[in-house]
Amino acid sequence: MAVNLQQADASSVLEARRIHNQKLARQHDQTRATWFPLAVLGVLLALPLLQLTGNYNYLLHLVLFTASYAVMASGWNIIGGFAGYISLGHAVFFAIGGYFSGMLLARYGISTLLTAPLAGLVAAICGYLVGLITLKVRGPSFIISSIALLMIARILFDHWGFIGGANGMSLPVTDLPVLTAKLPYYYAFVLMAAFTVWATYRIKHSKFGLGLRALSKDEVKAESAGINTRFYKVLAFALSAFFVGMSGAVWGEYLTYLRPNIFLIILVSANLVLMCILGGKGTIAGPVVGAILIVAFNEIFVATLGASEINILATGFVMVLGLMFFPNGVIGTLARKGKLPRVLNWD
């Protein structure tokens, strides 16, 4: 009898807790402005209508560029922000995605818009295999090993004749008229960015995401709490590689050529890290905000100063300032002060 009573108590406690959690979730939902990201998406989808009134290709290019970086930075955020493993080697997956789809386009004429998910999958498989090795170490060791990964990939890509070696290879140029030439890639990147933001949201709010956040705080404790940390972090690495690879695939066709010194440079990786840090590591909106900031910043620098060396210098400088004075990024700092506007609260 007593046992039954206890069981009844336990289940009622669980029930009460469930109701309480639902209430909290509802309150949280009310503070979130879901309409805002959707409205932004709507505006972006309608933006090409401007082409009817004139040539806005530059504007489209900027949005497309930002969206491609938003995809990659959000992807990086899964391993770097949620799981806390800073990878400086994600340019490798960018290149794998770009080359995989680019080769299919060059050999068989299949558009990368169709093969992008496949390219993401290939990048994810590579990420899984690499992660099995490199994720054995954490902290600075992991960062170093990710740089080594980039160097190894660079040597391989530079000397692999089949994919054009260091000279790379050119891809067929689209035969669409000027005004619509950018549109397929534009829509591809905007939709990919929307999908990525949605996916990272789902990941963050799943049991998997909770596990990642636990292991980023303390891996040993997470392990003893019954989380399969090895599998979790390797999977997170593979998932982040998926998004980066997918973006690389379409980017290759958009550029119309593949070359190791465009895809496999540390500046690409550095930009991803920088976007997540400036925007706010581990938040959903952070990488998107970071991508907007960095692209705007890059455009200003390229437009006024031009040279790529100055660009590297400026990127490094912004990174130092960001790290020293805003380690939590825009979203993180605002959220900590309780001043995050509702429209930017996507978590």
Partner 1 sequence: MTDILQILILGLALGGVIALMGSGLSLVFGVMRIVNLAHPSLIICGAYVSYWAFKLWGLDPIVTLPIAALIMAAIGVLLYRLMFESQAKSARYSEMTVLLTFALAMIVEGFLGAAFTNTQRVTSPDYATDAFFIGSLFIPKGQLYAGCVSLAIIGALTLFLNYSRLGYAIRATTQNREAAELLGVNVNLISMIAFAIGIGLAGAAGSLVSFVFSFFPAKQWEWIAMLMSVVVLGGMGSVLGTVVAALLLSVIAAFVGAWVGATWSTMTFFLALFVILLIRPQGLFGEKPELA
When asked if residue 266 is in the footprint of partner 1 (CB under 8 A), the reply is yes
**Residue from 19, 25, 225, 313 that binds partner 1 (CB under 8 A)?**
313
Stretch that binds partner 1, among 7-15, 36-44, 185-193, 301-309 (CB under 8 A): 301-309
When asked if residue 92 is in the footprint of partner 1 (CB under 8 A), the reply is no
The torsion defined by the Cα of 205, 209, 272 and 161, in degrees rounded to 10, comes to -120
208-216 CB contacts, 8 Å cutoff, 24+ apart:
208/232, 208/235, 208/236, 209/82, 212/78, 212/82, 212/83, 212/236, 213/82, 213/83, 213/282, 215/83, 215/84, 216/82, 216/83, 216/84, 216/85, 216/282
Nearer to partner 1, 159 or 221 (CB): 159
Rounded Cα distance, 37 and 117, in Å = 23
Minimal distance, residue 318 CB to partner 1, in Å: 8
**Residue from 13, 129, 155, 300 that binds partner 1 (CB under 8 A)?**
155
Six-digit token string for 19: 């109701």
When asked if residue 311 is in the footprint of partner 1 (CB under 8 A), the reply is yes
Task: Give the count of residues interacting with partner 1 (CB under 8 A).
Answer: 43
* Whole-number Cα distances in Å, 157 to 138, 154, 341: 27, 5, 45
Minimal distance, residue 248 CB to partner 1, in Å: 20
**Residue from 28, 34, 310, 336 that binds partner 1 (CB under 8 A)?**
310
Six-digit token string for 11: 């289940």
When asked if residue 129 is in the footprint of partner 1 (CB under 8 A), the reply is no
Residues engaged in binding partner 1 (CB under 8 A): 84, 86, 88, 133-134, 136-141, 143-145, 147-152, 155, 159, 266-267, 270, 273, 277, 307-317, 319-320, 323-324, 327
